[in-house]
Structure 1
Amino acid sequence: MERWISTFLEAQAAELGAARNTLLAYGRDLQDFAAWLARRKLDFLTLDQADIEDYLTFCADQGLSPSTRARRPTRARRLSAVRQLFRFAFDEGWRTDNPSIRLKGATKARTLPETLNEDEVDRLLDAARAASAARPREALRNTCLLELLYATGMRVSELVTLPVAAARGDPRMLLVRGKGGKERLVPLSPPARTAMVEWLAQRDTEQEALRKAGGQPSRFLFPSHGADGHLTRQHFLVILKDLAVLAGISPARVSPHKLRHAFATHLLANGADLRAIQTMLGHADIATTEIYTHVLDQHLKDLVLTHHPLAKD
């Protein structure tokens, strides 16, 4: 259970750029849940929905007095932490089901995803290319990472684990293995293809030198010396934050997931079909993709309020 919690928190930090206080709160809640399960000789792998409901009932019973309730996290926050953990576990293939999916909680208005505008994305890409003179290898790799992410809307976990075989032959379409092992094809833009070809040549040169030295070449497009064998989500988040600083953008506004939102929002704003965006994002339900129509509606509203000649303060 410790490994599940630590891996989940690392992913929250790397993919969503979750704040430190949020991670600490989730960590405390999940540690408390794990300890409660351990006392009952249960664990994350074997529990069912009834066990989670028993835990939430236990939490409510512990918070009956006002003084106790003031010191303890709300049921809604604990439920949120548990739900997100098991959603992540299902996506990672640790469980074949999600025992928290039918749990009832307080209804909450759905917030619109934060995204980056087209100018900000261009500045990030320019910042990646700008390092070519001082650090040519990093410039090729970082440009490829950003171009692929923005061109395809991949999840960061899908990006960093791309097999090098997917990049062979200058493909027009990229085969992506997504949640639950489902595969999908996404088209590549000309800049993304160019960046991938240039990085692939650099990567192959390095891997050939490694092979001649007696090492084992990597099967990943973005290899690393770490235990996973590929660039980690955490490392990519650090790269992205550094590029944001170079681009003059607040690092707090930049995360891999926001680039995924930018991909979908910019496509929709330029006339793309919602079903096509759903397919490229790998969403199982069109309702998940429809959130981007609300982002676009808000953008159009802001344009009217700020640029219309009759707009008032």
Structure 2
Amino acid sequence: MPSSDEPADADALPADLADARRAFERHLRLERATSAHTVRAYLGDLDALLRTVADTGLAGLDLAALRRWLAAQRAAGASRATLTRRASSARVFTAWAARTGRLATDPGQRLAAPRKHRTLPSVLTVEQADAMLTAATSGAAEEDPVAVRDLLLLELLYATGVRVSELCGLDLDGVDQRRRALRVLGKGGRERTVVYGVPAQRALERWLGGHRSALARPGSPAALLLGARGGRLDPRVARSVVNAAAGAVPGGPALSPHGLRHSAATHLLVGGADLRSVQELLGHATLATTQLYTHVTVDRLKAIHDQAHPRA
């Protein structure tokens, strides 16, 4: 039976292509533990690719076919980011197909695509982050459970640099108050431990001291953060909380939870943290991703150079 992600015309594909698609989907879901959103993106790209070799089957999926596929999309006006993503999807599929014997060789190894322009989110200054959290603390003074929860959300996002999905997915048994640490589940099902400071601990104690139970219902999950109706906090609600809190800071940028994560990483690096430690905290698979956060530390390097170098 076709999966919910399988296109309506999947049955029109040759048998080997339809079978390969289903097996690749199982590989993504079960072996790689890929998120549902990423699976949909991979399969959408794969469907477009497989339709180009419908007449030849997998035997026709060689480097020339891959290049023609990308060239046609470029001619149709596909963006650099789209081409980069689709080339990546193709490489993942051909590597899997070669590994499982569906292709004699892996043509994707030699497939090049334009590099995606990596844009960085807005970042708070240290002073703006302090102003945002101070305002959130004042807003929670009335003991409104939602306001206390929102304060904890902001404190933990900024203190740990975790992704909003990781924090919203966190259960109570993933919190170690004695060590001031959280055990979160990141991309690819990778688990890691992150730490937080005293202000976040105070916000956590307030939340668990009665405000969480004020929102909990008989059927509430074991989530650390609950929504107003007692369910697990929706990441979309968390995004609106972050955006509103940052927007209330004079001169503050429009900010998403990822921007708050970016702010945390930037402030750690400016404060002297090494890249490897920040990589571990953020859960980046490669150090190259973490290096993107060093763009605002140039001023700090210049200051050190001016202070320490005899020819500055």
Higher relative contact order (CA 8 A, sep 6+): 1
Aligned match for 1:180, one of 188, 197, 210: 188
Aligned to 1:276: 277
Q: Alpha-carbon deviation of 1:162?
A: 0.9
Deviations 1:44-84 (A, max 9, x none): xxx9xx59985763463477xxxxx5xx3236242245468
SS of match in other structure, 2:182? strand
Return closer, same or farther for 1:189/1:2 CA change in 2, 3 Å cut-off. same
Paired positions, count: 250
Instruction: Choose 260-269 or 54-63, whichever is displaced more.
Output: 54-63
Structure 1 counterpart of 2:226, one-letter code: P
Return closer, same or farther for 1:162/1:111 CA change in 2, 3 Å cut-off. same
Deviations 1:132-172 (A, max 9, x none): 35572222111101111111111111111110122365542
Counterpart mapping for 1:112-131 below 5 A: 114-131=122-139
Max Rg structure: 2
Q: Alpha-carbon deviation of 1:120?
A: 1.2
Aligned to 2:240: 238
Question: Within 2, Cα distance between the matches of 1:52 and 1:163?
Answer: 46
Question: Within 1, Cα distance between the matches of 2:240 and 2:136?
Answer: 13
Aligned to 1:248: 250
Computed over aligned residues only, the root mean square deviation of the Cα atoms, in angstroms, reads 4.2
Question: Within 2, Cα distance between the matches of 1:299 and 1:112?
Answer: 19
Return closer, same or farther for 1:86/1:249 CA change in 2, 3 Å cut-off. farther
SS of match in other structure, 1:290? helix
Using structure 1 for the length normalisation, give the TM-score. Answer: 0.64
Question: Within 2, Cα distance between the matches of 1:60 and 1:122?
Answer: 49
Return closer, same or farther for 1:163/1:108 CA change in 2, 3 Å cut-off. closer
Question: Within 1, Cα distance between the matches of 2:192 and 2:118?
Answer: 27
Aligned to 2:144: 136
| Structure 1 residue runs without a partner (length 5+) | 5-28, 64-68, 88-98, 306-313
Q: Alpha-carbon deviation of 1:256?
A: 1.1
Structure 2 counterpart of 1:247, one-letter code: V
Using structure 2 for the length normalisation, give the TM-score. Answer: 0.64
Question: Within 2, Cα distance between the matches of 1:274 and 1:34?
Answer: 35
Q: Alpha-carbon deviation of 1:129?
A: 1.9
Return closer, same or farther for 1:184/1:86 CA change in 2, 3 Å cut-off. farther
Q: Alpha-carbon deviation of 1:250?
A: 4.7
| Structure 2 residue runs without a partner (length 5+) | 7-40, 92-106, 307-312
